[in-house]
Each structure stands twice: as C-alpha cells, then as structure tokens.
Structure 1
Amino acid sequence: MNIPRIALVTGANQGLGRALVEGLAARMDSRDLVLLTGRSQRRVTDAAHEVGRLSGTRARVEGRVLDVTDTDAIARLAEDLRARYGGVDVVLSNAVARVLPEESQAERADEFIDVSNTATHAILRSFGPLLRRGGRLLVVASSLGTLGHLDPRLHHLFDGASLDQVEYAVESWRGAVHNRTAQEGGWPIWLNVPSKVAQVAAVRAVAAERRANDLADGTLIAAVCPGMVDTATSRPWFSDYSQAQSPAQAAEAVLDLVLADHVDPALYGELVRFGKALDWYDGTPPVEQDRMLTP
C-alpha cells in the first residue's frame, strides 16, 4: 500500500500560494494531505476550509500557522511532520513580503530579506533532510534570480557558493543597506534583485551537495519562476497586465513540475520557468529607475 503523500505550501492564504494548494488538492489523492500555511490563524483556517469545499478537491487540506520569519517555528514544524508522518513529499516555499512602489526599499529591507531569504535558508535546512524518495522541494523565485542581474563585482558572493556562504552574503547585503553603503558596493536599490539571486544561489548550493543521490531516487530540488502573475503583491508595480496570468494559470506549470513522474536532470538545482532551465549567468544589472518586481 502506498504511503499517503504530505505536501506543504508557505504563503498560501492567497494569490499563487493559494492556487498551488488548490491545484495540489485537486491533483493528489484522497489519502494525501496538503498543508496550507500562513501567519494568521483565522485566515489559514478559513482558506483551508474553503479549499476543502471546492468541487475539484480530492486530497485532505489542513491549515497550519507558520510565520516564515521565525526560523525556530520552521524547524519545529519540520520536526512535527517528521514525528507524525516520517517525512514530507512536496515543499513549496512561496512566501513573499509585499512592498509598494512608494515605500522606501531600505526601510523594508529587514522584512523583505527575512521573508524571502532567511526563510528560504531555513526551509532548505529543515525540510531538505525530510524529503522522501521522489520528493519535491521548490523555491518560488523569479527570472531576476539569474546571476547576470547583479553587478559583476558581486558575482563571486553567489557563484558556486555554499549555503553558509550565501547566507553570509545576504547578511552582508543587509548590513550594507543599513549602513547606506549598498550602492557604492554594487548592490541595486531594488530589493527584489539580490533577494531573488540569493534564493536561486541557495537552492543551487543545497542541490550541489545532494545531486547524485537525489537524481538516483527521483527527488527534485529547484527554484521556479511562475512568470507574471496578477496578484495583490505584483499589481502595484505594473501598468500593463495584458500578459499576466491568473494565480491558477501560473500554478499549472509549477504543479506539472511537482507532479511529473520523472525528474529531468537538466532541471535539477536550476531556476525553472515553464519547464525549462534558465541560464544562471544570464541577465543584465537593472537600471535603477526601472520597476523591478518583475516575474
């Protein structure tokens, strides 16, 4: 008898995270469990109940409170899932901090870095060891996550780095923002660029250590770019949404990757967009007046 699969999605109350939960719940089996997580008990509970009542839902859906900025809470949840179920099968790290165009990037740096980067590091460390054979651990990033989007002076901080080294680079960036030395060091004003590069670098670091064993048993660790998605987080940054996908549409390519029967070695440890790996070295540093929360 097959063991029920356990899936976890962070930042899942709304937007893409909610759509990922809905898609998993529809495409997994009735014995499987999808955990919808977020910071608010009420919103998590309501969202889980709503997904559970959808006509297409097959799997069980439960809400769990998880503030991804609390790394101890991430570790406790991982340990709880280990004790209850012996491991996990799907982890989708999707949480993101919402920043508006009129807000100071520097003033929001701590929250943004904590949600997007510190949490990513903690999820990789806590849930990577819990992945069962054939498991999937995907970090939702963006096409800005390729190294070429950073000033060449910063490339050595992330290219071929270990997870500890990526974490050190992120904290160095945070310190430079607070000390107002970030721009002279080559860091862009817009938080989303170094944050996404660091997310992808963290995934690459963990994947490099696990690649042989994971490919042998069909396990996938990767970053994913869902493309432009019409959500409350991204809408303030764009004037033209004619090419934007709904959260449900954007979730499809991610779910296809999650639920594929086989792992394409070319995608392992890479930033994947619509089923294809993006070149890690691609991209150009942003022009600072550009709006940079792009997909």
Structure 2
Amino acid sequence: MTTSRIALVTGANQGLGRALVDGLAARMGPDDLVLLTGRSPERVLDAAREVAQLPDTRSRVEGRVLDVADPEAIAHFADELRARHGGVDIVISNAVARLLPEDSQSARADEVIDVSNTATHAILRSFGPILRPAGRLLVVASSLGTLGHLDPRLHHLFDGANLEQVEYAVESWRSAIHHKTAEEAGWPRWLNVPSKVAQVAAVRAVAAERREHDLATGTLIASVCPGMVDTATSRPWFSDFSGAQSPAKAARAVLDLVFADGVDPALYGELVRFGKAVPWHDGTPLTEQDAMITP
C-alpha cells in the first residue's frame, strides 16, 4: 500500500483522454502514478510508452487494459487498486463510443449506452467508495446533458432520481429503442442527447448522497463539459471547426478543476463547463440538426 497519488483515465489512447493523461503526468509528482486505460492492449501500451517519454512528464505512467462496457472489469480494477494502493485520488471517466452521422442510431444504441451510461454507473459505484479524501471523480459529458434538452414527458425519470432510478430510466430507453417505441414515448432519435442527460443525472444522484462528507474532506464529484474539441470522434459531426479547441487546450480546463485548491460547493455534483456550473434545467428539446452540432 502506498500514499502516492493514483490517477486513472478511461478512453485514454487518443484525443481528449490522451491529452488528460499528458497533463496529469506533467502536473503530478515522481512518486505518483497515472493509469492510462483503453480496450486495445497494443494501443494502450504504445500510448503509455509515448507519454512516459514526453519531456514534461514527471510522474510514473502505466498502461492498463480496461473495457468500460464490462461492469465486472471495472469492479475488479477498483478492487485491485484498493488492495494495492489503498484507494485512488483522481478518476476521469472519458470513454466514448465513436458514432458517425451516417450510422444507424438504433443499431448502435447498445454500444453507446454500454460505453457511456452503463460504464458511468459502474465507475461511480466502483470508484466512488475508494476515492480518497481530497479526491476527484469527473465524468466527461457535454452541454447536451441538461434536463431541458429532453421532452418534458421524460423529465421525471431523471430529475431528483437516485442512481438506481437513473439506471432504470436508461434501460427503459434502451428497451424502447429495441421495441421501436422510443420516439412515441418522447425519446429523441439522436442517442447523444439522452445519453448525456443520463450521465449528468447519474453524477448528480451519487453526489447528492455524498455531498456533506465530500465537501468536508475537499472531495469533488462532478460531470464536465470540455466544449468543442477537434478529435477524430467529433470532427465528422461539425462543418465549422473554427471554434474548436485542440485536445490539449480542452484538457487544461478539466485539469484546472482537478488541481484546484479546495472544492467550490457551487460546482459540486454539477455539470461544469470552463469552471462554471451549467444549470441542470437549462436547454430546450433539440431538433436532429441541433443535436449534431451542439458540443
């Protein structure tokens, strides 16, 4: 067991996840450990080796294979970190299924839900209990994750819900997609809207239960919106990238939240965008075109 800081990033082979690992490795100390995770053993190994060789890297960096679509793998990894290190200090849940505009939304629904939502639930359940005092657990979402972007008929499924109720809502959505009743029930055709709302709702649910204790120990649980980022995943969705950030620039705002002194109660449990909380009830139901261009 060690008292060195332990950081973990999912979906870290490339794009924003890789930039987050680069930044963590540069800001943490020689005795600290950054765990770069992804599904492909070869890509994970190559990425970890590259980060370790960067001139700004100060901490230790290890690549670990983790399929976030497998809740049992997440639970096992958390158990391992508890046994070996006594807990974890920084967890950034960043993995996302790459979805193209021309893809069938219904055909890709299970993959998107498993990687974005089932994984978020498992990470909150498995890593929340081993998060050490002054720790950070952040889920990368987007500004689509506010309740107002859903049809009002669906608001009761997420507003004030606990984690089990969020999970039930997500599985109800999944079932409606498979039974071709989703649009009739008010679910938008584009998966990224309910997926992001559910991610933010899950974070809010866990944070509501932990708020008093976490604020007393300087611990932060929140969802984050990095804004528009120029990556292979996001580029197919936008015609104008003039306002897009590089992954490195987008990572800086997230990392500033990670390394901030203390915790601002106004940000705890919220969706944070560039250091400010995005109101949970903001937004209006989106058209298909809106859903394609909102970062």
TM-score by shorter chain over 0.5: yes
Deviations 1:203-248 (A, max 9, x none): 0000000000000000000000000000000000000000000000
For the residue of structure 2 that corresponds to 1:63, the secondary structure is strand
Percentage of matched positions with identical amino acids: 80
Name stretches of at least 5 consecutive residues in structure 2 with no aligned partner: none
How many residues align structurally? Answer: 294
The equivalent residue for 1:134 is: 134
The equivalent residue for 2:29 is: 29
The equivalent residue for 1:211 is: 211
Residue 193 of structure 1, CA deviation: 0.2
For the residue of structure 2 that corresponds to 1:184, the secondary structure is helix
For the residue of structure 1 that corresponds to 2:183, the secondary structure is coil
Pairing of 1:97-246 with structure 2 (within 5 A): 97-246=97-246
The equivalent residue for 2:270 is: 270
Distance in 2 between the 1:81 and 1:289 partners? Answer: 43
Residue 57 of structure 1, CA deviation: 0.2
Residue 261 of structure 1, CA deviation: 1.3
TM-score normalized by the length of structure 1: 0.99
The equivalent residue for 1:286 is: 286
Distance in 1 between the 2:266 and 2:291 partners? Answer: 31
* Alignment-mate amino acid for residue 105 of structure 1: Q
Report if the CA contact (8 A) 2:193-2:291 is conserved. Answer: no
Report the CA distance shift for 1:12/1:293 in structure 2 as closer, same or farther (over 3 A): farther
Residue 293 of structure 1, CA deviation: 5.8
Residue 38 of structure 1, CA deviation: 0.1
Report if the CA contact (8 A) 2:192-2:291 is conserved. Answer: no
The equivalent residue for 1:46 is: 46
Distance in 2 between the 1:30 and 1:260 partners? Answer: 20
TM-score normalized by the length of structure 2: 0.99
Q: Are 2:5 and 1:5 equivalent residues in the alignment? A: yes
Pairing of 1:50-65 with structure 2 (within 5 A): 50-65=50-65
Comparing 234-243 and 280-289, the one that deviates more: 280-289
Structure 1 segments of 4 or more deviating over 6 A?
A: none
Report the CA distance shift for 1:96/1:243 in structure 2 as closer, same or farther (over 3 A): same
Name stretches of at least 5 consecutive residues in structure 1 with no aligned partner: none
